[in-house]
Amino acid sequence: MSKTKEETRFLLTYKFRAYPSILLEYRMENWLYILFNLYNHALEERKRAWKEEKKTITYSHQQNSLPKLKKQDPTLKLVLSQVLQDCLRRVDNAFQKFFRKEAKYPKKKKLYKYNSFTFPQVWMKQKDKLTGNLKLTEVIKLERKNGRFAYLHLPKLGELKIRLHRQIEWTKAKTITVKKEPSGKWYVCITVEVELEQILREAQEKAVGIDLGVKSLATTSEGEFIEHPKFLQKLEKRLKREQKKLSRKEKYSNNWERQKKRVAKVHEKIRNARRDFLHKLSRHLVNNYDCISFEKLNIRGLVQNSSLAKLILDAGWGRLSPLLPTRL
């Protein structure tokens, strides 16, 4: 059976370290605060409408109410309209997941948990005034400085310096998410559309089955064993030491805030090591096999009341499987 062009396309997200100036960091943190308030306002509006009137508020309704909301709260004008719309879409997605019984009823966000914002459009189609033909116009511009760094020109924010550790096909970029980690570091996640052939360029006509475990993270049907790197175990002593120091500080004091960032940096180091390993493993599997099958596991059930819960979560089973595209 032949495949349509849409069925052979995938979205891949690349993460780059960002180095904002002091002024730009202030603006981005201001955006996060404004969006955090908008998210909770939209959430409460939906709850109130259902509780008092048994009325369902949709995304379209809240989006159309933005101009009126901007008059009531002028700070919303500081943020790009598309970013505000994406914030409302996050609220809608949270309710859709609840209706599909995939998540619990949405709750109000805490400020430190609202740590990212998304530009949902990098390129837009416009008519050429001379020819009348459609052409692609950059909403966000990427300016490469050298082989290591580049600048993203973000609307209403300014130039954001990023470490471009790998080349991407910029004309295929779809969305850009700016995220602040608990450690205080900033990152940019760029989603790019790629063809299936590009992902499986080096793939062979081979199939493999994979069993996930804790002693060996993965065992292939061909007898290959991938050892569990035990990322948490390697840094557990350091993590406990930093957490113990945190518990001795007066909560919300300056010393407590500084120590909290140190704990967050250890967590980030563990998370980055796990993510890097799983990406390399998934790339190895995709490059060598055409069809990859994983055993179906109830991870949530396995980690409940299990002495192996820490090892299972540290292995990152749930992160590994979605990283692997499957060609049928």
Domain containing 265 equals 207-323
Residue 65 included in any domain: yes
Based on the fold, state whether residues 304 and 220 are members of the same structural domain: yes
Alpha-carbon distance of 324 to 328, in angstroms, equals 13
Last residue of a domain, one of 117, 143, 169: 117
Residue 99 included in any domain: yes
State which amino acid sits at residue 276: D
State the CB neighbour count (10 A cutoff) for residue 183.
16
Based on the fold, state whether residues 297 and 168 are members of the same structural domain: no
Based on the fold, state whether residues 275 and 181 are members of the same structural domain: no
Nearest to 190 by CA among 204, 207, 169: 169
Contact 136, 171 (CB under 8 A): yes
pLDDT of residue 203: 46
Based on the fold, state whether residues 168 and 69 are members of the same structural domain: no
Residue 21 included in any domain: no
Contact 316, 228 (CB under 8 A): no
Alpha-carbon distance of 19 to 152, in angstroms, equals 11
Last residue of a domain, one of 57, 87, 117: 117
Based on the fold, state whether residues 185 and 235 are members of the same structural domain: no
Based on the fold, state whether residues 139 and 257 are members of the same structural domain: no
Contact 35, 114 (CB under 8 A): yes
pLDDT of residue 326: 37
Based on the fold, state whether residues 97 and 131 are members of the same structural domain: no
Counted domains in the chain? 3
Residue 140 included in any domain: yes
- Backbone CA torsion sign across 302, 308, 312, 314: positive
Alpha-carbon distance of 235 to 262, in angstroms, equals 13
Helix (H, G, I), strand (E, B) or coil at 317: helix
Based on the fold, state whether residues 157 and 11 are members of the same structural domain: yes
pLDDT of residue 69: 95
Last residue of a domain, one of 117, 149, 182: 117
Based on the fold, state whether residues 246 and 132 are members of the same structural domain: no
Based on the fold, state whether residues 281 and 301 are members of the same structural domain: yes
Tokens of 186: 């900033």
pLDDT tens by residue, the chain, 328 residues: 445 555 567 888 889 999 999 999 999 999 999 999 999 999 999 999 999 988 999 999 999 999 999 999 999 999 999 999 999 999 999 999 999 988 899 999 999 899 999 999 999 877 776 676 777 788 899 999 887 899 999 999 999 999 998 888 899 999 999 999 988 899 999 999 887 666 555 444 566 777 787 777 887 877 777 777 888 878 888 889 999 999 999 988 999 999 999 999 988 888 888 888 888 888 777 777 767 777 777 777 777 766 677 777 777 777 776 544 433 2
